[in-house]
Structure 1
Amino acid sequence: MSVLFVLLFSFAVAEARGPGLPNVMVLATGGTIAGTGSSSTTVVGYTAATVGIETLLNAVPELKTVANVKGEQVFQIASENMNNDYWLKLAKRVNALLAQDDVDGIVITHGTDTIEETSYFLDLVVKSKKPVVIVGAMRPSTAISADGPINLYNAVILAGSDEAIGKGVLVALNDQINAARDVTKNNTSTADTFRTPELGFLGYMQGNKPYFYRQSTRRHTADSEFDVSNLDALPQVDIVYGYANMNRVAIDAFVAAGAKGIVHAGVGDGSLARPAVEPALDEARKKGVVIVRSSRVGNGIVARNGEAKDDEHDFVVSDTLNPQKARILLMLALTKTTDTKEIQRMFYTY
């Protein structure tokens, strides 16, 4: 996708909006941003997903000054309970809304535990260049210094901005803008938990305006080959974690349970324990299970034919995707093909 095309598309969308405020739809799914605690100092042990969308929006009256905002409660869950069915429902609703001329951008409020997974899933299946921004909070709405309101305010500005057009799905908290593909939760409890290790933020929110300094070079959203419009389910893909003294029990169990793919979160450069693990993965592959080598490290490229002879084993490597995101790409890849060479191409493309 050329830079010129993005600029022309951005200009066209801006012209279509006219001189008024952008129209931003806020889809609520629950999470800490919609959570409540027993007191104003409760920031641990609170209850997530208790506050509805209208209450969230009414708590930030300043939203009316930056966008024409409407809200919709898609579902109400703590994000550790996120599953494939919720993803499919959310993706289809996002695509339906973005196809409307009266929607310029979408904000999704979400729990932080799986925000990186939902954002990457949407990055692969949203069929529009209009902005989609996922936002959450690390403190419940009842806390003294709740971060939800300012995060939501910034997210609406970002979703309504020309600058965010064509940038893919964005994750915006703590005045920082991250790309869905690369962001990960980095701390269990601090407000600056979302980071893009090594590659860095896309930009910042400052003074009611987004500032971008880089963008992802990987294919996403409108340029993606994946389509979930006619899908009612996704293939079963599971993750096996590597560790010292690892055995094959988990691999065999997932295969017996019907896994179509397994992501191995190996040590180091995706290394496989021998003789415990490598033979089990080989046997799984011979049964048709697609194997992806990833790493538990969290940074860097998993090298093909590096710590394993991937060509001989007919394995796929995850490139820089962490295990949880490799699982998402593998699920979507398996909706199109079981050819490992083609799946490897996808991992180097997305």
Structure 2
Amino acid sequence: MSVLFALLVSLDAANARGPGLPNVMVLATGGTIAGTGSSSTTVVGYTAATVGIDTLLNAVPELKTVANVKGEQVFQIASENMNNDYWLKLAKRVNTLLAQDDVDGIVITHGTDTIEETSYFLDLVVKSKKPVVIVGAMRPSTAISADGPINLFNAVILAGSEEAVGKGVLVALNDQINAAREVTKNNTSTADTFRTPELGFLGYMQGNKPYFYRQSTRRHTADSEFDVSNLDTLPQVDIVYGYANMNRVAVDAFVAAGAKGIVHAGVGDGSLARPAVEPALDEARKKGVVIVRSSRVGNGIVARNGEAKDDEHDFVVSDTLNPQKARILLMLALTKTSDTKEIQRMFYTY
């Protein structure tokens, strides 16, 4: 009798959770999607990261129709305050959850300012093919036509879908699906700010269903060689921005502050100012600092031995990664090696 009773209780619990629906965990980190304004028309000057995960989920009761959803507040910040410690905490929690049989996918609510960086970091360190979807909003939760609820609804559907399995970490806002490696925020305030210039979206959300038209060919997630499970810190890597009439002050300051790597966001094809900056980068490299040439342009391949003699200088080029993403890959690369040939291989692989 006790066995039968236990079976009936188990069946009741399964039915209450929604039989046949995917199990999606929503991890909240703050941002505009959790923000509030002084009035319904406040879309500038609001306060980010004030609404908790339970309130976010309760605001979208339709979630219960598409997934068995649970929420967890990992931390609560505006995303301009994102740092390496938060990344490590988030990555470890994501990997722990994805290892569980009762979790089919994860949604992470996040501020939009650094979504592209967090998503790429996770793309390199998540150890599962299960979907991980990062979502945010451009308008606070109190605004007229707030975009957070529909973005969250779509993200949960995407994270619970078979179509998203093995696609790497995804960024989904405004009915559009982007790859973590390629997406960038390209407008300060409009709802369609997240784009993948030139290469384009992976697909769209329409009618409560994801439609994919392409996928990234670079290694990610379960196929990545990077592992943060035993890391408590990441190497210091900084970015130096290229501009007309620039000087070596920033390079020297970062080296003096202990940088293990520097990403130079050069003009054009990652060009280096001579004689102002190139000698400073050479000196930094001789001190063991790994130098990566990227570009401030935002599109295109930074050509090795193009605008600089990279072989001669022992520099690395970022391929198509923008400076902020090149910094992330260089940080993780430096946890494995300081060999520039190996690091260059990683930039061509990821």
Residues 64-122 of structure 1 show CA distances to partners (whole Å, capped at 9, x for unaligned) of 00000000000000000000000000000000000000000000000000000000000
8 A Cα contact 1:10 1:162, kept in partner: no
Aligned equivalents of 1:253, 1:68: Cα separation in 2: 50
8 A Cα contact 1:17 1:104, kept in partner: no
Superposition RMSD in Å:
6.8
8 A Cα contact 2:43 2:143, kept in partner: yes
Shift of 1:197: 0.4
8 A Cα contact 2:17 2:68, kept in partner: no
Shift of 1:6: 37
8 A Cα contact 1:59 1:149, kept in partner: yes
SS at match of 1:205: strand
8 A Cα contact 1:133 1:171, kept in partner: yes
Shift of 1:17: 13
8 A Cα contact 2:18 2:67, kept in partner: no
Aligned twin of 1:171? 171
Q: Do structure 1's residue 242 and structure 2's residue 242 form an aligned pair?
A: yes
Shift of 1:16: 19
8 A Cα contact 2:203 2:214, kept in partner: yes
Structure 1 residue ranges, 4+ long, deviating more than 4 angstroms after superposition: 1-19
Distance 1:199 1:13, change over 3 A: farther
8 A Cα contact 2:88 2:228, kept in partner: yes
Residues 216-274 of structure 1 show CA distances to partners (whole Å, capped at 9, x for unaligned) of 00000000000000000000000000000000000000000000000000000000000
Aligned equivalents of 2:257, 2:161: Cα separation in 1: 46
Aligned equivalents of 1:25, 1:199: Cα separation in 2: 30
8 A Cα contact 2:30 2:77, kept in partner: yes
Residues 297-343 of structure 1 show CA distances to partners (whole Å, capped at 9, x for unaligned) of 00000000000000000000000000000000000000000000000
SS at match of 2:107: strand
Aligned twin of 1:260? 260
8 A Cα contact 1:40 1:143, kept in partner: yes
Shift of 1:11: 25
Unaligned runs of 5+ in 2: none
Q: Rg bigger for which structure?
A: 2
8 A Cα contact 1:14 1:162, kept in partner: no
SS at match of 1:42: coil
Shift of 1:7: 34
8 A Cα contact 2:79 2:112, kept in partner: yes
Shift of 1:172: 0.0
Point out the more displaced range, 6-15 or 91-100. 6-15
Number of aligned residue pairs? 350
Distance 1:285 1:64, change over 3 A: same
Residues 5-59 of structure 1 show CA distances to partners (whole Å, capped at 9, x for unaligned) of 9999999999999961000000000000000000000000000000000000000
Unaligned runs of 5+ in 1: none
Aligned equivalents of 1:72, 1:271: Cα separation in 2: 45
Distance 1:9 1:180, change over 3 A: farther
Residues 126-176 of structure 1 show CA distances to partners (whole Å, capped at 9, x for unaligned) of 000000000000000000010000000000000000000000000000000
TM-score, length-scaled by structure 1: 0.95
TM-score, length-scaled by structure 2: 0.95
Shift of 1:4: 42
Percent pairwise identity: 96
Distance 1:68 1:9, change over 3 A: closer
Aligned equivalents of 1:2, 1:80: Cα separation in 2: 54
SS at match of 2:294: strand
8 A Cα contact 2:33 2:137, kept in partner: yes
